[in-house]
Each structure stands twice: as C-alpha cells, then as structure tokens.
Structure 1
C-alpha cells in the first residue's frame, strides 16, 4: 500500500471519534468517497528499483497497491461499508470533489452516510523542480 494510505488514517480516527455504530442496515446504504492519487513515494521507490537492480526487483504489488481506489476499498472493508465506493482523481481538487460527490450521493438518496476525503503527497524534488518552470 502506498504512503498515501497513512494520510487516510485521519478518516479512520474521525470515524471512531464519531461514535457511529455500523449496523447491517446502515452498512448497506453507507459508502466511501476517498481518493489519493498515485503516491510519489511509492513511485520513487519502484522507479529507482527498476534502474538500479532491474525489473525483477519491482514488487508485484506495485500496481495493485497504487490504484486510486485502493484507499477507498480498504476503508470500506475496514468499516464494513457496503454502499457506493468512489475514487475520484482530479489532481489538487481530489479531496474537495470526493467530499462534494459524497454529499450529493446523500442529498440525492443514493446513500445514507459516506466517509469522504482525499490526500495528495505531491511535494517531491521532481515536482518542485517541475513547478519551478511555471515561475520563470
């Protein structure tokens, strides 16, 4: 699992702090709208492995552990939420869109409760160097 999953732990704490008990009937109508795009730490770790030690040194779990719905899927499993499961990827606005879409699902009657959020971990040396071109 990518390092972005650690950022999802805030959702876990908030869920426990809420005091919500997930009954079977609530579980059927509760879902997750949580996303974090491909984490740069995971990418760097595997990218370096390929160039330094060859393709056989890349974990077979690289892709399954990095897909955008990995966090929302694991949160659903962890809390037994069996309703909608969304993973929206819209760059810097991913978390905002995830929360907004989760609210709409409740508003439109598609779900009774949603665990929603998002995270980006895009501050890396490569990303900062790339962004430097924008100011020159």
Structure 2
C-alpha cells in the first residue's frame, strides 16, 4: 500500500450549517460531498481514503486530498477544477454556468485496461479506483 494513503490521525467530517468555507455554495457542495465520503460513519476505511468496496477511494492520497480541499476553498465562480483519478490537475477559467468540478477516474485505453496494469499504476500512485460514487464524491452509504 502507498504510505501516503494511510493516516490514522486524519478524521474528516463535513461542515454543516450555513457558514461556507468556499466562495460559493456550488463549490461548498462539492467540498462537503468529498468530506462526507470520508466521514467515519460513512467510509469503509477513512484513514486510507477508502469509501467502500475495498479499494474505492475519494482521493489518490492525502496530499491530493489536501490540495483538492485547498483549491475548492479558493475556487472562483468562473473557474473549474479538473480532477484526474483523485488528483487535482488543473483549474481552468470557465464561466458561472460551467461545472465547478470535472472528475475523470480510472481511464485507460483498451489495450492497457487490465487489472494487472491498473494495479501497477495504482501501486505507483498514478491512478486510483473510484468505484461508482466514491471517486465522484457522492456516496451516501449502504442501501438495502
């Protein structure tokens, strides 16, 4: 396991109430969804950024998580954050009606889309498995 992914001292809880940490409610929503995914009552192994499914993470590692949070807090209403497999890779000037965050997880071209190759990239810290809702920050807990 990547040492940068395990930190038992980290306890993440989404803020509640009407005070924002971000510049807009649109961005605050993304921040709270990310943090809620890692709440101890929600996540499978929050200290490892694992939300559910054994390997479904909310961010690639703790450094990436911290950078995502930092960027979300200063993101303007006409900017969009791009996250690639749990790592923030850019902020683009867009417009007020554009998404605040675009996320692409676990994308490999077909020739390289094998578990063996994915796991190699994951071990190197170059990719993460986001499951369906962990990496997109919208997991709401077990259902059923």
| TM-score normalised to structure 2 length | 0.29
Higher relative contact order (CA 8 A, sep 6+): 1
Higher alpha-carbon Rg? 1
| TM-score normalised to structure 1 length | 0.31
Would you tell me which structure has more helix in proportion to its own residues?
Answer: 1
